[in-house]
Amino acid sequence: MARYIDEILQPGERVLYSTNAHWIFHLPAILAWIVALALFVVSRQSDIYGVMIVCLFGSGLVALAALYWTVKGWFHRFTTETDVTNLRVVHKTGFIKRRTFEMALDKVESVDVNQTILGRILNYGDVTINGVGEGRETISTIASPLAFRSSITTR
């Protein structure tokens, strides 16, 4: 399946920078898989039948939740594209219900980056693009937000 940006490029337009949603979207799934594995190990170590059954049941429930969060995080990353071309900024989310945001680079007034402490450590954050007469758009939890900002502001 072709990327969205490849389908909408204008003649003479080229992609300068591409980024995606950060892997932090998978953190709930990773933590749930760890808990499911820990409950499973406890169920194997337990000599008490009741504790073993409760831990196995809990492990199964948490594994189902982990599977849901894994698929949800993967699908979000798969259906989200953020690109900067030599003419515009393009952000697309969704698969069936698609939402796109495009702003010409000459209409960009400012680009703000908001990062938490964890975001600074793991290199993710929110980027808000303020446009001249076109309003404001926030792109949440993208990888390498400072490089993304630099690709917009450097011309």
In sequence order, what are the residues at sequence separation of 6 or more whose Cβ sits closer than 8 angstroms to the Cβ of residue 69?
26, 28, 29, 32
Looking at the whole model, is its pTM more than 0.85? no
Helices (H) and strands (E) in the chain, counts: 5, 7
Would you write out the chain's pLDDT as a tens digit for each of its 155 residues? 678 888 889 999 999 999 988 999 899 999 999 999 999 999 998 888 888 999 999 999 999 999 999 999 999 999 999 999 999 999 999 988 999 999 999 899 999 999 999 999 999 999 999 998 768 899 999 999 999 999 998 86
Q: Residue 131: beta bridge partners?
A: 108, 135
Report in angstroms the alpha-carbon separations of 4 from 15, 28, 59, 74. 12, 28, 39, 17
